[in-house]
Structure 1
Amino acid sequence: MIVLHAFTIDDHGVSLAELARRTDIPKASLHRIATDLVGVRLLERTPAGYRLGRHLFELGMRASVERSLVEVAIPFMEDLYERTHETVHFGIRDGLEVIYLTKIGGHRQAAAPSRVGGRMPLYCTAIGRALLAWAEPEVVTRVLTGPLPRRTPRTVATPGMLRQQLDRVIADGVSYEFEESAPGIVCVGAPIFESEGRVVAAISVTGPAPGFRPQQHAASVRAAAAGIGATLARRAHLSDQPR
């Protein structure tokens, strides 16, 4: 697991020497481990060294909760893309970060730092704030009392201002980001509620600044989030019915 976790979202091939540096595992032991991982298709050899194997993707797609969420979300994401022709993100909260489960973008999509399977902080992204605003109080406290590094000059990095933004998210039902996670992009996001009123995911639209005006698409993003939530609730109700 140490070896597998040593790979980043942007790695296409990592040498044995670099893996040894990242893991602090002696090269001889690391070579044996890597050979075993290749044998069970969790790693693949490349001219540059090693990369994560496609069998990990197969295993990931068996994660029933995330797979079910994506299956429900995709049609609504496609509708939202047709309305905006900008990049649509769908993600869940894991700790103090958002994990992007899937995204839809066109040929001219904004250069966002997000990656499918990648992570971003909750506090500086629209989709993250949509998740954070309805998170448990202890999670919100951890974010507000922890470090809030500036990713750009426009990142909200003071607890008081971030608290005000989270309150606005709850009041409006949507969240915004204006070049806070990366220069040149703006976003609007909305939370997705399950049948019991708990936020299980969030959806957002990202476009280039200054041409994209996220406020103009708030209603569409809210509607997509509501549609996904209603579908999830209907599925949960059907699954609870006696057979």
Structure 2
Amino acid sequence: MAPTPTHGPSTVPARAPDSAPEVLDRRRGPHGEVVLRRHGDLLQIIANGCFLMDTSDGRSERLLVTAALEELDERPSPAVLIGGLGVGFSLAEAAAEPRWGRIEVAEREAAVLDWHRDGPLRALTAEALADPRVRLTGTDLTQYLRSTPTRWDALCLDIDNGPGWTVTEDNGGLYSPAGLAVCAERLTEGGVLAVWSAHPSPGFERDLRNAGFTRVRTREVPVARGVPDVLFLASHHLARQDS
């Protein structure tokens, strides 16, 4: 049995009580069931019975965005696409940084969008959603990347617990050679792909290199319990891809 993912917290400032969590909303859609529950001071998102994330910290989700920006050096007003809204840590981090230009979030679960727009998660992202740079797109990330002609300077993907631990089977295509090729096509010259994971994956690093990405590396983020969270970072260069 796989260990329960922590999805980001490096510390746990608010302990969940011993009592059972309270379900605030439960919905079933085309991708299965998604649940928002409260456990003490924490809000938690569960998808198809798999714990995805909570509001305990979010250090690695924030770092996903800041690390991508660092890789872009002094590029003016770079555009970023965040794959997966979750509890909103990555979006809030992006909106707090004036260097970012266009900030887009692709989220396929209508329930998650509702929880942020006028539900229990609104307090975490209300300021970000009021930012004119921010746009929420209610769509499946994989399908969106394949259908849009838009390019971004950074793709920050956090829709699963890692390349080998997907929420739904159809998400696996995003990490396949064909999926990584689509990611490369959606990046500008010198753009950055950043992928969140609950565990290391040397095989995925190899897949990124085989897809033509350069400067492939990982950053570990310590968590309160278990193995560190991992950020995969890779750069895209058109000349390298076309050679």
Normalising by structure 2, report the TM-score.
0.32
The answer to which structure, 1 or 2, has the higher relative contact order (CA under 8 A, 6+ apart) is 2
Normalising by structure 1, report the TM-score.
0.32
Q: Which has the higher helix share?
A: 1
Larger Rg: 1
Q: Which has the higher strand share?
A: 2
